Protein backbone atom coordinates (compact mmCIF):
# COMPACT_ATOMS: atom_id res chain seq x y z
CA UNK A 1 0.00 0.00 0.00
CA UNK A 2 1.51 3.27 -1.10
CA UNK A 3 1.39 6.67 0.50
CA UNK A 4 -1.14 7.83 -2.12
CA UNK A 5 -3.52 5.03 -1.22
CA UNK A 6 -3.21 5.78 2.52
CA UNK A 7 -3.90 9.46 1.88
CA UNK A 8 -6.94 8.53 -0.20
CA UNK A 9 -8.32 6.26 2.60
CA UNK A 10 -7.78 8.98 5.21
CA UNK A 11 -9.65 11.43 3.02
CA UNK A 12 -12.46 8.92 2.51
CA UNK A 13 -12.73 8.25 6.29
CA UNK A 14 -12.84 11.94 7.08
CA UNK A 15 -15.76 12.32 4.67
CA UNK A 16 -17.83 9.59 6.40
CA UNK A 17 -19.63 12.10 8.60
CA UNK A 18 -21.25 13.45 5.44
CA UNK A 19 -23.06 10.18 4.71
CA UNK A 20 -26.53 9.27 5.99
CA UNK A 21 -25.32 5.84 7.11
CA UNK A 22 -22.78 7.43 9.44
CA UNK A 23 -25.45 9.52 11.17
CA UNK A 24 -27.85 6.59 11.42
CA UNK A 25 -25.14 4.54 13.15
CA UNK A 26 -24.32 7.43 15.50
CA UNK A 27 -28.02 7.86 16.37
CA UNK A 28 -28.40 4.14 17.01
CA UNK A 29 -25.28 4.11 19.20
CA UNK A 30 -26.40 7.11 21.28
CA UNK A 31 -29.91 5.69 21.52
CA UNK A 32 -28.63 2.33 22.75
CA UNK A 33 -26.49 4.04 25.42
CA UNK A 34 -29.49 6.06 26.63
CA UNK A 35 -31.72 2.97 26.60
CA UNK A 36 -29.11 0.98 28.58
CA UNK A 37 -28.80 3.75 31.16
CA UNK A 38 -32.59 3.91 31.61
CA UNK A 39 -32.78 0.12 31.94
CA UNK A 40 -30.05 0.18 34.58
CA UNK A 41 -31.85 2.90 36.57
CA UNK A 42 -35.14 0.99 36.40
CA UNK A 43 -33.43 -2.24 37.49
CA UNK A 44 -32.00 -0.49 40.55
CA UNK A 45 -35.47 0.85 41.36
CA UNK A 46 -36.95 -2.63 41.00
CA UNK A 47 -34.29 -4.05 43.31
CA UNK A 48 -35.11 -1.43 45.95
CA UNK A 49 -38.82 -2.19 45.63
CA UNK A 50 -38.20 -5.93 45.97
CA UNK A 51 -36.04 -5.38 49.05
CA UNK A 52 -38.73 -3.19 50.61
CA UNK A 53 -41.41 -5.79 49.83
CA UNK A 54 -39.28 -8.58 51.34
CA UNK A 55 -38.71 -6.50 54.47
CA UNK A 56 -42.41 -5.68 54.72
CA UNK A 57 -43.29 -9.36 54.40
CA UNK A 58 -40.77 -10.26 57.12
CA UNK A 59 -42.29 -7.65 59.41
CA UNK A 60 -45.82 -8.98 58.80
CA UNK A 61 -44.63 -12.53 59.49
CA UNK A 62 -43.01 -11.43 62.75
CA UNK A 63 -46.18 -9.61 63.81
CA UNK A 64 -48.27 -12.69 62.98
CA UNK A 65 -45.97 -15.09 64.80
CA UNK A 66 -45.85 -12.90 67.90
CA UNK A 67 -49.65 -12.62 67.76
CA UNK A 68 -49.96 -16.41 67.62
CA UNK A 69 -47.64 -16.77 70.61
CA UNK A 70 -49.67 -14.21 72.55
CA UNK A 71 -52.84 -16.16 71.76
CA UNK A 72 -51.22 -19.37 72.95
CA UNK A 73 -50.06 -17.72 76.18
CA UNK A 74 -53.45 -16.11 76.80
CA UNK A 75 -55.23 -19.39 76.09
CA UNK A 76 -53.28 -21.55 78.54
CA UNK A 77 -55.84 -23.50 80.56
CA UNK A 78 -55.64 -23.48 84.34
CA UNK A 79 -55.36 -27.26 84.30
CA UNK A 80 -52.18 -27.29 82.17
CA UNK A 81 -49.64 -29.96 83.03
CA UNK A 82 -45.94 -29.42 83.43
CA UNK A 83 -45.22 -31.33 80.21
CA UNK A 84 -47.64 -29.17 78.21
CA UNK A 85 -46.22 -25.98 79.71
CA UNK A 86 -42.67 -27.12 79.00
CA UNK A 87 -43.59 -27.71 75.34
CA UNK A 88 -45.10 -24.21 75.09
CA UNK A 89 -41.98 -22.68 76.66
CA UNK A 90 -39.62 -24.61 74.37
CA UNK A 91 -41.62 -23.61 71.29
CA UNK A 92 -41.73 -19.98 72.40
CA UNK A 93 -38.01 -19.93 73.19
CA UNK A 94 -37.00 -21.32 69.79
CA UNK A 95 -39.38 -19.01 67.89
CA UNK A 96 -38.25 -15.97 69.84
CA UNK A 97 -34.58 -16.75 69.18
CA UNK A 98 -35.29 -16.83 65.43
CA UNK A 99 -37.57 -13.78 65.52
CA UNK A 100 -35.06 -11.85 67.63
CA UNK A 101 -32.36 -12.32 64.98
CA UNK A 102 -34.69 -10.98 62.27
CA UNK A 103 -35.74 -8.06 64.48
CA UNK A 104 -32.09 -7.15 65.09
CA UNK A 105 -31.17 -7.47 61.39
CA UNK A 106 -34.08 -5.26 60.32
CA UNK A 107 -33.46 -2.83 63.22
CA UNK A 108 -37.15 -2.87 64.15
CA UNK A 109 -36.68 -2.17 67.85
CA UNK A 110 -33.90 -0.81 69.98
CA UNK A 111 -31.46 -2.85 72.06
CA UNK A 112 -33.34 -2.35 75.32
CA UNK A 113 -36.43 -4.02 73.81
CA UNK A 114 -34.30 -6.88 72.48
CA UNK A 115 -32.99 -7.29 76.02
CA UNK A 116 -36.58 -7.31 77.31
CA UNK A 117 -37.37 -10.19 74.93
CA UNK A 118 -34.37 -12.13 76.23
CA UNK A 119 -35.29 -11.37 79.85
CA UNK A 120 -38.90 -12.41 79.46
CA UNK A 121 -37.93 -15.73 77.85
CA UNK A 122 -35.38 -16.34 80.61
CA UNK A 123 -38.01 -15.50 83.24
CA UNK A 124 -40.51 -17.83 81.61
CA UNK A 125 -38.02 -20.70 81.59
CA UNK A 126 -36.91 -19.96 85.16
CA UNK A 127 -40.53 -19.93 86.36
CA UNK A 128 -41.06 -23.25 84.57
CA UNK A 129 -38.09 -24.79 86.39
CA UNK A 130 -39.46 -23.54 89.71
CA UNK A 131 -42.83 -25.22 89.26
CA UNK A 132 -41.42 -28.53 88.12
CA UNK A 133 -43.19 -31.17 90.20
CA UNK A 134 -41.18 -33.80 92.03
CA UNK A 135 -43.44 -36.51 90.55
CA UNK A 136 -43.44 -38.44 93.81
CA UNK A 137 -46.55 -36.66 94.93
CA UNK A 138 -47.58 -35.71 91.39
CA UNK A 139 -48.97 -32.36 90.32
CA UNK A 140 -51.61 -30.62 92.33
CA UNK A 141 -54.53 -29.07 90.50
CA UNK A 142 -53.72 -25.67 88.92
CA UNK A 143 -50.20 -25.74 90.43
CA UNK A 144 -48.38 -25.06 87.15
CA UNK A 145 -50.78 -22.35 86.02
CA UNK A 146 -50.84 -20.59 89.40
CA UNK A 147 -47.05 -20.72 89.67
CA UNK A 148 -46.54 -19.24 86.24
CA UNK A 149 -49.53 -16.97 85.69
CA UNK A 150 -47.68 -13.73 86.50
CA UNK A 151 -44.80 -14.61 84.16
CA UNK A 152 -47.22 -15.71 81.44
CA UNK A 153 -49.09 -12.40 81.71
CA UNK A 154 -45.83 -10.43 81.70
CA UNK A 155 -44.60 -12.32 78.63
CA UNK A 156 -47.85 -11.69 76.80
CA UNK A 157 -47.78 -7.97 77.62
CA UNK A 158 -44.16 -7.53 76.55
CA UNK A 159 -44.77 -9.35 73.26
CA UNK A 160 -47.81 -7.10 72.67
CA UNK A 161 -45.65 -4.04 73.34
CA UNK A 162 -43.01 -5.30 70.89
CA UNK A 163 -45.69 -5.78 68.21
CA UNK A 164 -46.90 -2.22 68.83
CA UNK A 165 -43.39 -0.80 68.51
CA UNK A 166 -42.73 -2.75 65.31
CA UNK A 167 -46.02 -1.56 63.82
CA UNK A 168 -45.34 2.05 64.84
CA UNK A 169 -41.87 2.02 63.30
CA UNK A 170 -43.16 0.37 60.13
CA UNK A 171 -45.97 2.93 59.86
CA UNK A 172 -43.54 5.82 60.29
CA UNK A 173 -41.28 4.41 57.57
CA UNK A 174 -44.23 3.86 55.22
CA UNK A 175 -45.39 7.46 55.63
CA UNK A 176 -41.86 8.81 55.24
CA UNK A 177 -41.58 10.17 58.80
CA UNK A 178 -38.51 9.14 60.73
Torsion from C-alpha of 50, 54, 60, 65, nearest 10 degrees: 160
Residue 6 pLDDT greater than 90, yes or no: no
- Shortest CA distance to 127 belongs to which of 145, 109, 107, 102? 145
The band of 177, judged by pLDDT with boundaries at 50, 70 and 90, is low
CB of 47 closer than 8 Å to CB of 41: no
- Asked whether the predicted pLDDT for residue 89 surpasses 60, the reply is yes
pLDDT tens for residues 150-163?
A: 889 999 999 999 99
Kindly list the domain boundaries of the chain, sorted by start residue: 55-178
- Digit-coded pLDDT (tens) for 24-80: 988 999 999 999 999 999 999 999 999 888 888 888 899 999 999 999 999 999 888
- Angle CA(129)–CA(162)–CA(115) in degrees, nearest 5? 55
Question: Average pLDDT of 11-27?
Answer: 75
First-to-last CA distance in the chain?
Answer: 72
Classified by CATH at the fold level, domain 55-178 comes out as 1.20.120
Q: Tell me the per-residue pLDDT of 110-131, one tens digit each, with 9 for 90 and over.
A: 888 889 888 988 998 898 888 8
| Predicted local confidence at residue 79, as pLDDT | 87
Q: Is the pTM of this model over 0.85?
A: no
Do residues 132 and 74 touch, judged by C-beta distance below 8 A? no
**Residue 144 pLDDT level (bands cut at 50, 70, 90):** confident
Residue 12 has a pLDDT of 59
pLDDT for the residue numbered 75: 92
Amino acid sequence: MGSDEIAMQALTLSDNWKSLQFWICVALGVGSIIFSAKAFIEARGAKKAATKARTSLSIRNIENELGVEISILNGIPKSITYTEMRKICLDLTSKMARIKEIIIRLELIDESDVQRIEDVINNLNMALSQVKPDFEGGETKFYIFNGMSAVITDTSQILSTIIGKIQAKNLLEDTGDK
